[in-house]
Amino acid sequence: MKCRFKRNMNTLAQAILLSLASSAAFAAPSGAELEYASASELSAMMVSNELTSVALVQHLIARVADLDKQGPTLNAIIEMNPEAFDIATAMDEERAQGKIRGPLHGIPVLLKDNFDTADGMQTSAGSMAMVGQPATQDAFTVQQLREAGAILLGKANMSEWSGMRDMSLPLGWSGRGGQGKNPHLLSASTCGSSSGPATAVAAGFTPLAVGTETNGSISCPASAIGVVGVKPTLGLFSRSGIVPITRLQDTPGTLTRTVRDAALMFNVMQGTDAADSATANAPTGIDYTALLSDAALQGKRIGYPIAYTGSHDTLLTPNPEMLAAMAVLREQGATLVPLTVRLPDIEGYLSGLMGAMKHELPEYLASRQGLPIDSLQTLIDFNQANPGDEHYCQQMLEAINAVELTHEEASAQIAIISQNFKDAIDEQLREHNLDALFAENDGYSQFSAATAGYPAITLPSGMSDDGTPTSVFLYGQQWSEPQLLAMAYSYEQASMALRQPGFKE
């Protein structure tokens, strides 16, 4: 099959390959007090009887209709949930009866299109090859959100197969959802595979969204699109019922407009899942809002890179937004410590991911019935027979299918590299007596935290001259989410760097 290449690598590919070798604006609809309100603010409006869940869902669905397939045509949404109004009605009735499930009661949430939902919606990882009988069981995380009273508004677009169809494909594109756009500057990149959820939050389609990250798929779109993206420690959230690359690196995460909203989602999404052994050692019962305070940065020691050495030697010159962010940290009482950061060797990392996906994706497909495909080979055959208008390639899928590593061999490769990154981060924190590490969107820090399986938060830091958001990145040791969220909250409250999109061409 002749296929068209587009030279635009996703964030995972960029990190791996680097280490190895006159504008017009669309008018936004009125009602910004709803579309750009946080979940906390919307919940308060519901408590005071100023807003119902039905009215909110109606407003957001209308906004999606105006902006996602018309006007700027953001293509952030793959499908809306036909049951959303029924769920909203039920949540309003419960509230009227005095039954409040918690802060997410009656609040809409969008899911990346790789979370199983036992309803009328598809779960396809953005692929037309996965359109068929819907899943028969909710992903564990979806069950948690439903039980908390959240309204599943729909499925968000994503880079097809989380960027693993072909690394030359444009970022944010899928066969089902089309080409996603950045709501700040429509021609700008949306970055990693959770781009649809990030765009939906930024554009005012939903206050809350859930994405996934293997390596960069939450941090990169959160950075490019200007929202708060939180990737937890591997194992804090269950991966059951999620289309995999590999459980050795995959994790759900949150995309929100505020740190507090992320903490509220963490309260709901934590928990032990018998079907995901990684959750057995995770802390439970934590209130992730408990430490949120304007003064949370007081007395903290935070390291920041001035150079990277090891697998890729780089000297860094902080950009203006990074310098401004560092000034905010100091003003909030933090001590900043310059670091030369060692990057461990990552040779074998990509082949390990590919080998793991070769074995884990068929296991997931076996859990689904009534789909056009049941294996990697039938997926490849489907794409060859149905090339679509773009005629995009699938060289990564073909390479994965050809990998000869056993799952044990692939797991061993990734485990060694992951442990090396854990050790490198732990060493920096211990040697310099640090509470966290802080960086701009340089790619290396994001890759390090993801490969280690450590928690990380991407935060808006302002706007660049071309009208796209800038960001900063905060990360730390295993299970340090309560402390990271607190420090991120203090920075957020002092910087007030979140910007609403202008939908500029």
Q: Which residues are catalytic?
A: 112, 193, 217
Q: What are the Cα distances from residue 151, in Å, to 147, 209, 251?
A: 10, 11, 22
CA 64 to centroid of chain Cα atoms = 20
| Angstrom distance (rounded) from CA 106 to CA 42 | 9
Q: Assess contact for 472 and 459: CB atoms under 8 A.
A: yes
Q: What are the Cα distances from residue 264, in Å, to 116, 217, 493?
A: 22, 21, 17
Q: Assess contact for 8 and 192: CB atoms under 8 A.
A: no
Express the helix, strand and coil content of the chain in percent, nearest 5 each: 40, 15, 45
| Angstrom distance (rounded) from CA 286 to CA 289 | 9
Q: What is the DSSP letter of 296?
A: T
Q: Assess contact for 209 and 110: CB atoms under 8 A.
A: yes
Q: Assess contact for 355 and 405: CB atoms under 8 A.
A: yes
Q: Assess contact for 154 and 81: CB atoms under 8 A.
A: yes
| Helix orientation angle between 53-67 and 84-96, rounded to the nearest 10 degrees | 150
